[in-house]
Structure 1
């Protein structure tokens, strides 16, 4: 009996030694505690990190390694863990440790408990996350600076576009006046030059109007409402009836939902995509389909046509500001429409993309989340979310 007890004690001692050997070579600080949360083991990595010699820390309370502001937090977490059924736990909240030198540093802590004989040891593995937090803070500063720069750029574009409108309006008006009043006195070459000036001024006016529209997207004060997309697209169809008849297009509109959004911005999305489908058609009759299907968290719409299609190499480029794949002579436009669609949809937390093969039509897809920040759809109504 005595031999059996001695063998168990020897086996227990061997287990402790093996555990100590493993913990000793670890690169991260590892600390073991007894049931009174006194330090029983302090590996070399912990000694190096906290600047304590092992003989000066063994037997001390774990709280010695935490500043006063964090002692109750760590104590509460360890006590909760001790009385739980969990065998491991990771504390990822902002917890600070303190070195013997008084320097504080943030850590992530993994807790575990191990029963050796009748004794329970609590083990903490600490990870210094100073660099991780510095990187996160730097990223946050960079993002804030980027947002500020983008806001300044949009504000600048808005102001410049707005200020250019009046002198450009005068330029276009007087150029047309010269054309009307003195056109007969000019020869063919003079009238051709004047026509170029009038056309250029007209295009520039439209570009500035489109740029103003683009700059307004996402500005403060945009109100979300419940938008019936079925009615909205029907209204757009009526507005474009002349263009639809002129092109001989066949238009199919599926069942569209009521969603959360700004009606003006949603109108711009549907109208730009529909106008493009009507504009970029080949020799055959344009056939256009607008439809939507519902997913768990978002609505996925698409506008499909049988037009000239898009080279897949340019499927991202077309969403850039002032990007055009065709000449002004072939197809009119400013190259802002798809950029405007993407900006609106990005601001809604959605995405837009195109699937197409050159000469075989194009399908533009866009997703819009069902609930926008601060709002949610309840049936066909929009309600503010209470926090």
Structure 2
């Protein structure tokens, strides 16, 4: 009888161990002192450990796998046994410091005792899944809120930008009528009473006329700046050499006046661009080079196109600028201290940047005082189609000059 009873107990233990080992939930049995009695294969996978490496460790304490004082952990487990769960911080490789694993706690007592002798910890997979989903949902909600916030800010900026563009266009347009009237009055004064004006009055009238022309130039530049941002983009195959030729024709008076030279591209390649906006871009850059010429030498403007890189450069031998100011010069109404004595609206290069942005190009500037400036446009799409001969309308009408004190149409 005793032998049969012993055999039955051994068989029962084997069966229990088999069920314990095959349990799909990570499970561990811990004694009251924090020693690990049993741990199944799923716990090994959960904690990313090899039980074989722990076989030689004695005593095998709970503190080897989890952070904290074993007795304190066991006390917490016994206090919630049968009705709650504990959260343990794994200290094995692959886990972050703030990670927690949830375990349901089940009390284990010997048949002849009523107090807890061991606790069975079962990994609460649902709790872990719920925690991860809650964390993910919180992140998604925060991301949606941030996306909506950015969209509202972007929409508001776009509305304000459109309103500002419309205001600039209307203000510039409404200023042209009184300016024309002012020119008419000054011309009448000059023609009818110029001979009887004293020298001082004639000088003052001349100053007034120059100021009016500067204002007219500024208004024209503002209109051109606003127009290049609103007009639809009509891409065409354009010869850069032809485009430079048309700009040279429009600026022939300034070029002859200052004995300037324009060196055109050595390679007559074609690009994809809006013909009128490209005309305005080149006219602004070349006009800028004539305006900021050096008083010690005749202006030389060299234009180069690199078809392989899709890069266009416009350089000059003018007064140049400090390279630390190269980002500032593309701002509207920005005037560099070194060139503040030269007349200008401060809108021309801002318009160039806007034209490049409309095409998906990028414009940069490099300068050196008293040596000159170099403007580089990159990201240009080359074309291999046959070039359509440009017309007056194709080259832009009206195109407003940035250089000089006057504004004309091409």
Q: TM-score normalized by structure 2?
A: 0.62
Q: Cα offset for 1:43? A: 4.3
Rate the CA distance shift 1:25–1:290 in 2: closer, same or farther, 3 A. Answer: closer
Rate the CA distance shift 1:212–1:11 in 2: closer, same or farther, 3 A. Answer: same
- Distance in 2, matches of 1:317 and 1:329, equals 14
Q: Which has the higher contact order (CA 8 A, sep 6+)?
A: 2
User: Which secondary structure state, in structure 1, belongs to the residue aligned with residue 254 of structure 2?
Assistant: helix
| CA-to-aligned-CA distance 1:251-285 (integer Å, 9 cap, x gap) | 32222432222111111111111122233222123
Kindly report which structure 2 residues correspond to 1:106-117, keeping only aligned pairs within 5 A, or say none.
none
1:12 corresponds in structure 2 to: 41
Which one has a larger percent strand, Structure 1 or Structure 2?
Answer: 1
2:125 corresponds in structure 1 to: 41
User: Which secondary structure state, in structure 2, belongs to the residue aligned with residue 331 of structure 1?
Assistant: coil
Rate the CA distance shift 1:241–1:264 in 2: closer, same or farther, 3 A. Answer: same
Rate the CA distance shift 1:328–1:11 in 2: closer, same or farther, 3 A. Answer: closer
- Distance in 2, matches of 1:178 and 1:30, equals 93
For this pair of structures, how many residues does the alignment match? 293
1:170 aligns with 2:181: yes
Matched-pair contact (CA < 8 Å) for 2:186–2:205: yes
Q: Cα offset for 1:47? A: 3.6
1:83 corresponds in structure 2 to: none
| CA-to-aligned-CA distance 1:308-339 (integer Å, 9 cap, x gap) | 11112322222222223379995333222111
- Distance in 2, matches of 1:131 and 1:239, equals 56
1:310 aligns with 2:339: no
Matched-pair contact (CA < 8 Å) for 1:350–1:367: yes
- Distance in 2, matches of 1:318 and 1:206, equals 19
Q: Indicate the larger mover: 351-360 or 241-250.
A: 241-250
- The structure 2 residue matched to 1:361, chosen from 358, 372, 376, is 372
Of structures 1 and 2, the larger Rg is shown by 2
- The structure 1 residue matched to 2:245, chosen from 234, 248, 252, is 234
1:204 corresponds in structure 2 to: 215
1:159 aligns with 2:170: yes
Q: Cα offset for 1:293? A: 1.5
- The structure 2 residue matched to 1:187, chosen from 198, 204, 215, is 198
User: Which secondary structure state, in structure 2, belongs to the residue aligned with residue 288 of structure 1?
Assistant: strand
- Distance in 1, matches of 2:249 and 2:357, equals 28
- Distance in 2, matches of 1:268 and 1:344, equals 8
1:285 corresponds in structure 2 to: 298
2:57 corresponds in structure 1 to: none
- Distance in 1, matches of 2:158 and 2:330, equals 20
| CA-to-aligned-CA distance 1:31-77 (integer Å, 9 cap, x gap) | 9xxxxxxx982344x44466xxxxxxxxxxxxxxxxxxxxxxxxxxx
Matched-pair contact (CA < 8 Å) for 1:256–1:291: no
- Distance in 1, matches of 2:188 and 2:100, equals 83
- Distance in 1, matches of 2:368 and 2:313, equals 16
| CA-to-aligned-CA distance 1:321-378 (integer Å, 9 cap, x gap) | 222337999533322211111111122222211111111111111124428xxxxx56
Q: Cα offset for 1:302? A: 0.6
Gaps of 5+ in 1: 32-38, 51-98, 100-104, 108-126, 372-376, 383-387
- Distance in 1, matches of 2:136 and 2:292, equals 58
User: Which secondary structure state, in structure 1, belongs to the residue aligned with residue 229 of structure 2?
Assistant: coil
- Distance in 1, matches of 2:211 and 2:274, equals 33
What's the Cα RMSD here? 3.7
1:258 corresponds in structure 2 to: 270
- Distance in 1, matches of 2:313 and 2:350, equals 17
- Distance in 1, matches of 2:168 and 2:331, equals 16
Q: Cα offset for 1:189? A: 1.6
Rate the CA distance shift 1:269–1:221 in 2: closer, same or farther, 3 A. Answer: closer
| CA-to-aligned-CA distance 1:214-261 (integer Å, 9 cap, x gap) | 111121534222222121112222333333333333332222432222
Rate the CA distance shift 1:366–1:326 in 2: closer, same or farther, 3 A. Answer: same
